[in-house]
């Protein structure tokens, strides 16, 4: 009798993608609360909005933005993978391959975004 | 009586399904209950809203951060310029409602998973629902009551106004 090591789920791709989806989801949710509040400052005054948005335009926040976009892109691609697992007849058979596809697309998307975002930031940045 | 070897090894036999008898009836697939159909609707909503949010948010990020001057272009005038167009008003409204409901339902699931004490669960979910309602109402009001062309005390157009204000 052949026995697989461990279990099909625990400690494997299925579990880790679920953990990643939860953590990125919670992070994005709290950012969203703050983001609606800072955008709402356009209703207070142009100066208030520009002052708070100005705080996003420094290198520390740029790193944070890249992290945020990284979380969003993973949550988006892995979410599409979950939809395929649920609705595509071959979804459960290929869920692992689809996770590696998600990770590959994530790396490509993040390289593109990070390069473009940093270039635009340093072009218009006046220093501290 | 002989027990064959396969009987002893097949895990499906003789072992009860996890949490047998400990599952809240509303999560059982047999029969139909009101909260069961709510959970089903929430499950479908997560997939439908999720697919829509991928498009809404990717375009939002591309238009705001990857074209023009990127992050440096974002100021009061930029927001005013976008919301002068009803398409962007609707875009941001759809994003606000779908993202808050999608995120709110995700947080509800997580609270249900980890907060085992009834009172803790009730408190956390009350705070969650209140936050979601406040953010959705606030965001919706901001989008629809926004005034792009503001005047100072002497009746002059503010410097931060977008250029189209000159023509009104």
Looking at residue A121, its pLDDT comes to 94
Least confident of A13-22, B68-77, B145-154, B158-167: B158-167
Of B50, B76, B141, the CB nearest to A50: B76
**pLDDT > 50? residue B115:** yes
- Give the distance from residue A116's alpha carbon to the nearest chain B alpha carbon, in angstroms: 7
Q: How many angstroms separate the CA atoms of B37 and B84, rounded?
A: 41
What percentage of chain A reaches a pLDDT higher than 70? 95
Rounded (10°) angle between helices A13-39 and A46-54: 150
Q: How many angstroms separate the CA atoms of A17 and A78, rounded?
A: 7
Tokens 């309602």, residue located: B133
Q: How many angstroms separate the CA atoms of A74 and B22, rounded?
A: 34
Of A29, A65, A116, the CB nearest to B107: A29
Chain A CB contacts of B70 under 8 Å are 116-117, 120-121, 123-124
pLDDT-derived band at A40, boundaries 50, 70, 90? very high
- The answer to whether A120 contacts chain B (CB < 8 Å) is yes
Mean pLDDT of A35-43: 95
For residue A43, which of B78, B146, B149, B85 has the smallest C-alpha distance?
A: B146
**pLDDT > 50? residue B1:** no
Q: What pLDDT, in 10s, does the model give residues B41-98?
A: 999 999 999 999 999 999 999 999 999 999 999 999 999 999 999 999 999 999 999 9
Looking at residue A2, its pLDDT comes to 56
Mean pLDDT of A60-82: 97
Q: What pLDDT, in 10s, does the model give residues B15-49?
A: 666 667 777 776 666 655 566 689 999 999 999 99
Instruction: Give strand pairing partners of B157.
Output: B151
DSSP H helix total and E strand total for chain B: 5, 0
Rg of chain B in Å (alpha carbons)? 26
- The answer to whether B25 contacts chain A (CB < 8 Å) is no
Of A40, A69, A120, the CB nearest to B138: A40
- Give the distance from residue B54's alpha carbon to the nearest chain A alpha carbon, in angstroms: 6
Q: How many angstroms separate the CA atoms of B60 and B88, rounded?
A: 9
Tokens 């157009």, residue located: B157
Cross-chain Cβ contact B70/A53 below 8 Å:
no
Residue ranges of the domains in chain B?
A: 33-149
Mean pLDDT of B123-132: 98
Asked if CATH classification 1.10.287 holds for the domain at A16-123, the reply, yes or no, is no
Tokens 């439908």, residue located: B48
**pLDDT > 60? residue B9:** no
Cross-chain Cβ contact A39/B142 below 8 Å:
yes
- The answer to whether A7 contacts chain B (CB < 8 Å) is no
Cross-chain Cβ contact A57/B79 below 8 Å:
no
Q: Quick one: fold of B33-149?
A: 3 helical TM bundles of succinate and fumarate reductases (1.20.1300)
**Hey, how many other C-beta atoms are within 10 angstroms of the C-beta on A113?**
19
Looking at residue B121, its pLDDT comes to 95
- The answer to whether A28 contacts chain B (CB < 8 Å) is yes
Q: What is the average pLDDT score of chain A?
A: 92
Q: What is the average pLDDT score of chain B?
A: 86
Q: For an interface test with B, give the residue of A19, A29, A58, A71 to mutate (most B CBs within 10 A).
A: A29
Q: Which residue has the higher pLDDT, A18 or B153?
A: A18
Residue ranges of the domains in chain A?
A: 16-123
CA distances to A64, B70, B85, B89 from B67, in Å: 20, 6, 18, 19
């Amino acid at each position: 009798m052949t026995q697989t090591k461990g279990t099909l789920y625990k400690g494997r791709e299925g579990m880790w993608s679920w953990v990643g989806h939860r953590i990125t989801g919670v992070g994005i949710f709290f950012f969203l609360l703050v983001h609606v509040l800072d955008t709402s400052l356009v209703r207070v005054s142009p100066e208030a909005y520009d002052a708070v948005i100005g705080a996003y335009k420094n290198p520390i926040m740029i790193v944070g933005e890249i992290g945020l976009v990284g979380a969003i892109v993973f949550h988006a691609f892995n979410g599409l993978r979950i939809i395929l697992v649920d609705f595509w007849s071959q979804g459960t058979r290929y869920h692992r391959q689809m996770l590696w596809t998600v990770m590959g697309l994530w790396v490509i998307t993040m390289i593109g975004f990070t390069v473009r975002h940093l270039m635009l930031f340093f072009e218009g940045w006046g220093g501290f | 009586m002989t027990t064959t070897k396969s009987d002893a090894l097949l895990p499906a036999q003789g072992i009860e399904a996890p949490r047998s008898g400990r599952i809240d009836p509303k999560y059982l697939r047999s029969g139909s209950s009101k909260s069961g159909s709510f959970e089903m609707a929430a499950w479908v909503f997560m997939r439908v809203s999720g697919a829509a949010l991928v498009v809404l948010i990717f375009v939002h990020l591309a238009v705001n951060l990857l074209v023009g001057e990127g992050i440096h272009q974002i100021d009061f005038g930029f927001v005013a310029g976008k919301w002068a167009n009803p398409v962007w008003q609707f875009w941001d409204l759809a994003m606000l409602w779908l993202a808050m409901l999608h995120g709110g339902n995700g947080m509800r699931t997580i609270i249900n998973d980890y907060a085992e004490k009834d009172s803790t669960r009730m408190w956390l979910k009350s705070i969650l629902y209140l936050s979601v309602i406040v953010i959705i109402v606030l965001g919706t009001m901001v989008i629809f009551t926004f005034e792009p062309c503001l005047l100072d005390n002497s009746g002059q157009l503010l410097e931060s106004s977008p250029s189209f204000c000159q023509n009104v």
